[in-house]
Amino acid sequence: MVITSKDNDTVKYLKKLKDKKYRDQENAYIIEGIKLIKEAIQENAKIKLVVICDDCAQESSIDNDIMYEIAKYECIYVTEKIFTSLTTVVNPQGILAVIEKKDEKGEIDYNEDLFLILDNIQDPGNLGTILRTVDSLNLKQIIVSKESADVYNPKVVRSTMGAIFRVKVIESDDLVKTIKELKKHKIKIVSTSLQTNKNMYNISYQKTAIVIGNEANGVSKEILELSDEKIKIPMPGKTESLNASVATSVILYEAMRDKLK
């Protein structure tokens, strides 16, 4: 059976998942596209529902192997008109899925050697790209302030390119308190700041938490005051600042290089 009505209960449910409040309430979020769904299957994500566009031209591009895997889950078919009302992608591939959020307690693993903290990062694309970078370095967790963009925002999820299934995201209700706790565990706090002469090449990154600040205002004053070190990326050119996700990548890879020496 193909769902054709926008008043169908499942369609209404899927539309509500576009809203953070409802995602939190239902403990679920939406992923779109063949690659992300393959990643979800490979990483044993809890797939609650798969939605396939019955008459989309792109649907024919879904290969038999993935269709075989998808058939193991609850699937529904919808018309192109209904699918268009559900998708947040400009050129959708005709398939999306509802994923149950991981059952994580939000506890930090203090045994790790390198930590990343995001202080009020607002742009979903930045957050998603940062998660992808974290995954590329095989870091298993990231700490974000509650004021940051929602990690399950559709744009964030797409930008992670599958990292969403592998990186534990710990949302801190009180980032200052969280940082004080990190310091109790002998973890050095290093914040990015333009108000310093020390650059990213002048420090050791052993047992370190790197704090990346808000795109417009940087790291908050209270956190800067708690920091053991403040660093900046040396930029001899005329550009004074970098995109938050680019800056994060540059610093994290320098931290990794420092550890590999």
* Domain edges within the chain: 2-100, 114-259
Please give the order of strands across the beta sheet that includes 208-212.
168-172, 141-145, 114-118, 208-212, 188-192, 229-231
Please give the order of strands across the beta sheet that includes 46-53.
2-3, 75-78, 46-53, 95-100, 28-32
Alpha carbon of residue 130 to chain centroid: 7
What is the average pLDDT score of the chain?
A: 92
Report the largest interatomic distance among the alpha carbons of the chain, rounded to a whole angstrom: 65
Alpha carbon of residue 38 to chain centroid: 17
Same CATH topology for 2-100 and 114-259: the answer is no
Least confident of 60-74, 80-94, 138-152, 175-189: 60-74
Using the CB atoms, write b or e for 39-63: b if 16+ within 10 Å. bbbeeebebebbbbbbebebbeebe
pLDDT band per the 50, 70, 90 thresholds, residue 105: low
For residue 210, give the nearest of 92, 102, 118 by alpha carbon. 118
- Mean pLDDT score, 206-229: 95
- Mean pLDDT score, 237-246: 86
Whether the predicted pLDDT of 177 surpasses 80: yes
| Residue 258, pLDDT score | 83
CATH 3.30.1330.30 is the classification of domain 2-100: yes
Whether the predicted pLDDT of 59 surpasses 60: no
Whether the predicted pLDDT of 2 surpasses 80: yes
Q: Specify the amino acid at residue 136.
A: S
Whether the predicted pLDDT of 10 surpasses 90: yes
**CATH number at 114-259:** 3.40.1280.10
- Mean pLDDT score, 182-192: 97
| Residue 240, pLDDT score | 76
Inter-CA distances, 96 with 119, 238, 256, Å: 31, 43, 35
Whether the predicted pLDDT of 149 surpasses 80: yes
Which run of H or of E encompasses 86?
helix 80-86
Neighbours of 250 (CB within 10 A): 14
Whether the predicted pLDDT of 157 surpasses 60: yes
Quote the Cα angle for 91-152-131, to 5°.
Answer: 90
Q: pTM for the full model?
A: 0.90
- Mean pLDDT score, 151-161: 94
pLDDT band per the 50, 70, 90 thresholds, residue 39: very high
| Residue 63, pLDDT score | 74
